Structure formats: C-alpha cells, structure tokens
Amino acid sequence: MAACSCTTPILLIPALVLLLVLYFSPNLHQNHFMNLLSLPTSSTLSRTNHKHLKWRLSTSIFRSREEARAIVIKKKIGLERVEDDLARARAAIQRAIRTGKYISDKKERFIPRGSIYRNSYAFHQSHIEMVKRFKVWVYKEGDQPMVHAGPLKDIYAIEGQFIAEMEDSSEMNPFIASNPDEAHAFFIPVSVANIVEYIYAPITTYSRDRLQNFVKEYIGIVADKYPYWNRSNGADHFMVSCHDWAPDISSANPSFYKNFIRVLCNANTSESFQPGRDVSMPEVYGPADRLAAPNYCQPAHDRPILAFFAGGAHGNIRKTLLHHWKGKDNKVIVHDYLPNGQNYTKLMGQSKYCLCPSGFEVASARVVEAIFAGCVPVIISDNYVLPLGDVFDWTQFSVSIPMDRISEIKTILEAIPNWRYLRMQKRVRRLQRHFTVNRPAKPFDVIHMVLHSVWLRRLNFRLST
C-alpha cells in the first residue's frame, strides 16, 4: 500500500507539468486550445465508450498540440520570410535612389525615365522588386458572379479585367501565391459592380445595406477561417472596384476597415478616400476585346481645336461647363451629345486639350481616352485624387482647373506657351503604355501599375514576427 500511495503522485507530476506548459504556451492562442477540447460530452456517449474517451481525449490533446505547435512555427517562419523579402526590396529601392542605378536579374526591356515620374529610379527598382518578389493570395471562398468575376466591358471594365487577371493562377502570372503563408498581400475578390447588378436588380432602393453586408460577411468568413486578416487588422488586404458605390462599403463600419486597402476609381477625398492607404485606379472604358485602346493621335502641330468635350449633364460640374461653353465658341468645342455625323475619337485626336470634368462621381474615363488620343487632359474636379499619383507627377502632363474657373477655360489654356504644350503632349504619349490593358498583363501596363500601388502600400509597414 505504501508503495502504491507513493508512486501515484510521482507519475502524475510530469503529466500535470506538461498540461500546464501546453496551456500557457505563448505560441498558441487560448481560443485554439479551447477548440481542441470541443469533443462530445459524456452524456452523449454510451457507458461502454466512456472509459475509452479518457484515453482518446488525453492522446488527441497532445497530438493536436504538437501539430498546432508545428503549424504555428511554420507560419511564423513564413511571416519572417515575407518580412525579410520586403526588407530586401526596401533596401534595393533606397540604393537605387542613392546611386541612380538599377539592379536586375534579367535584361530590362523598358527603362522608365523622365519628368512624368516623381522619381523614376525609385519607381523602376520598385517595379523590378515587385515582379521578382510580390505574391498575392486570392481567397478561394465564394461563387461567381458576385465573387471571382466582374464586368469585362463598358464603364466598369477595369474592375472585371483586374479580377480576371488575379484569378489566373497559370505560370503567366508571377504574382499569384501558391499558398497563403508566402503571400505579401491578400486579395478580396468581390465585384461591387456585379453585386449591384445581381443583388439589387432591378434597383428599387439606393440603400447600401445589402452591399455592405455582403462584403462584411465575406471578410468575416475568411477572417474566421484564416489568421491573416486578424494578424494585420486588414492592412495587407485589398479589393478593387470601379463602381460608384464602392467607397460606401466601409461607411457603415469605418473602424473595421480602417487599415483595409481600397483600390477605387471613385477616389474622392470627401467620401472617405485616404491617399496614403487607398489606391486611385484609372477608369478605363471599352469592350473586352478593345481595352488596349488603339493609338489614334494626330501630330501635335495639326490640332486645330483648342479644347473639346462631349457628354451628358451629369453632376454640377458638367452642368456648369455646358452652361458656359456649349455651342458658344469655335475653339472650345463643348457638346452634351455630338451632332450626327461627328466622330468622338476623331475630335479628340484633333484637339490640343481634352476637358475631363467629373460627372456624378469624381472619376472620368475621359482621362484615359485623352491619353490615348495624345490630348493633354484638363482635369475639372474637386476632391479627386488622380490615378497612380504615387508614381506619376500629373503637373507635368495635365492641366487642372477648379470648378469656379470654368468660365475662364479659354483664357487659361491660351495663356499656356506653345513650347510648354508641346512638352506636355509628348509626355502624354509616353504615358500610354502605363494605361494599356493587356491580358495577360505585361510589365508597366495598367494592371501592373495598379498592383504596384498596392505593393508600395505593403512596403510601408511591417508586421511583427
């Protein structure tokens, strides 16, 4: 009896110590520990199985604990690897800025240089590092058409084309991560345009509730299933949309989305757009097979029209423009709708300056149309963050006119010296490669440029490892 009473505590001590170590292990979250214990209660088990449950419970806890510990270690190593990758990229970009030289593992077919870029050396090296390193995990949850697909034509085409490019996991796409642990960023593949078309059609209410609930529920699903959203509070997650309603996704719960990267055409600072966090995406209009717009530029010296616009009276800025200029001048040609027999693209190609007023929302597809027409864009907008402005210096190839000076358009444009116009027009033509949509995407085209803006934002912070 003495022997028995003495050895029982001795045998229990190592087991108790091990349980305490497992319970208080810093590598495991307490909620995860509790999930491991979510086995059926004894009341649901037959009396003959109850004895065996104790053995299964203890051994399954230890086995699951070891597996969980291995997963946590693997994930930690993965995050350390990701952050080390980003650190190397930052160092390479800083070196390029200091030296004015780039370093690449392969021959560069295009060297971005000139005043259209804020810093061409930084941009070039950053793009090299992006192509070399940047990996994006596209969440697989959800079904088309609201997720994993978007419109491929008309005014929201860039939204669908970008989503389609990110859904391409072939070797042609160097950015798609093979597993989430190697990803630098995470793509939420919802399409606001498709949500509005399929959930709201026919539109009987303009309440954003259903849109907001859909996106919030989707993020809730992936946040519960994977650790990545909670690890960064959404700072390394992004979505892409060209729909006017897209900024309203976060308005119902701003704190939940405070770090989330929104890539938007409707980049309006008066509607919660934050330039340091969000990305302004160019609005590219076109059918799917013509998104890479043809070059229909006329020579700079053969453009008899000073300024041109044609479009509906959508919003106050356009109404003011039409009020002052519609049919009132032979150099500033403004129409709400073109008369029969006139060609819109031909008129743009004959114009020195193309007026790009905001409509109901700040973005306008005319900016990209002007670029491909070799026509200097005249931005008439309030609170609009111009597309890809972290790379491009828009003052070098565009003119901005505030709404309260619309009546002075002719005076302002005629005051620009011809030599300055010729420089801006030349720079506009150099921009065209950066606003071309290619499928599959190519280096420095518009899809790469949008991804690069996301890449820059990921370079701007570090996750704790």
Using the structure block, give the residue that is written with the tokens 């505590």: 9
Tell me, yes or no, whether 113 and 182 share the same domain: no
Q: Is 195 exposed, middle or buried (0-12, 13-18, 19+ CB in 10 A)?
A: buried
Tell me, yes or no, whether 365 and 450 share the same domain: no
Tell me what pLDDT residue 287 has: 60
Tell me what pLDDT residue 169 has: 87
Looking at the domain assignment, is residue 44 inside a domain?
no
Looking at the domain assignment, is residue 230 inside a domain?
yes
Tell me, yes or no, whether 95 and 174 share the same domain: no
Four-CA torsion 329, 335, 336, 342, nearest 10 degrees: 160
pLDDT surpassing 70 at residue 51? no
Looking at the domain assignment, is residue 69 inside a domain?
yes
Four-CA torsion 235, 456, 155, 146, nearest 10 degrees: -30
Looking at the domain assignment, is residue 7 inside a domain?
no
Tell me, yes or no, whether 119 and 141 share the same domain: no
Tell me, yes or no, whether 162 and 145 share the same domain: yes
Tell me what pLDDT residue 170 has: 86
Q: Which of 133, 161, 179 is the last residue of a domain?
A: 133
The CATH number of whichever domain residue 315 belongs to comes to 3.40.50.2000
For the segment 393-401, the average pLDDT, to the nearest whole number, is 98
Full domain range(s) for residue 162: 134-288+440-459
pLDDT band at 15 (very low <50, low <70, confident <90, very high): very low
Tell me, yes or no, whether 268 and 147 share the same domain: yes
What would the pLDDT profile of 197-211 be if each residue is shown by its tens digit?
999 988 888 899 999
Looking at the domain assignment, is residue 23 inside a domain?
no
Q: What is the pTM of this model?
A: 0.82
Q: Which of 133, 151, 179 is the last residue of a domain?
A: 133
Tell me, yes or no, whether 405 and 308 share the same domain: yes
Tell me, yes or no, whether 97 and 179 share the same domain: no
Question: What is the C-alpha separation between 219 and 259, in angstroms, rounded?
Answer: 13
Tell me, yes or no, whether 185 and 272 share the same domain: yes
What would the pLDDT profile of 358-374 be if each residue is shown by its tens digit?
999 999 999 999 999 99
Looking at the domain assignment, is residue 152 inside a domain?
yes
Tell me, yes or no, whether 193 and 303 share the same domain: no
Looking at the domain assignment, is residue 276 inside a domain?
yes
What would the pLDDT profile of 411-444 be if each residue is shown by its tens digit?
999 999 999 999 999 999 999 999 999 999 999 9
pLDDT surpassing 90 at residue 16? no
Using the structure block, give the residue that is written with the tokens 């803006």: 453
Tell me what pLDDT residue 74 has: 53
Looking at the domain assignment, is residue 9 inside a domain?
no
What would the pLDDT profile of 109-149 be if each residue is shown by its tens digit?
999 999 999 999 999 999 999 999 999 999 999 999 999 99
Tell me, yes or no, whether 162 and 223 share the same domain: yes
What would the pLDDT profile of 287-337 be if each residue is shown by its tens digit?
644 544 455 678 999 999 999 999 999 999 999 999 999 999 999 999 998
Q: Which residue has the higher pLDDT, 229 or 55?
A: 229
Number of domains in the chain: 3
- Mean residue pLDDT of the chain comes to 85
State percent of the chain over pLDDT 90.
76
Q: Which residue has the higher pLDDT, 354 or 8?
A: 354
- Asked whether the beta carbons of 51 and 431 are under 8 A apart, the reply is no
Strand 399-400: give its sheet, edge to edge. 332-335, 305-310, 351-357, 376-380, 399-400
Tell me, yes or no, whether 176 and 262 share the same domain: yes
pLDDT surpassing 90 at residue 9? no
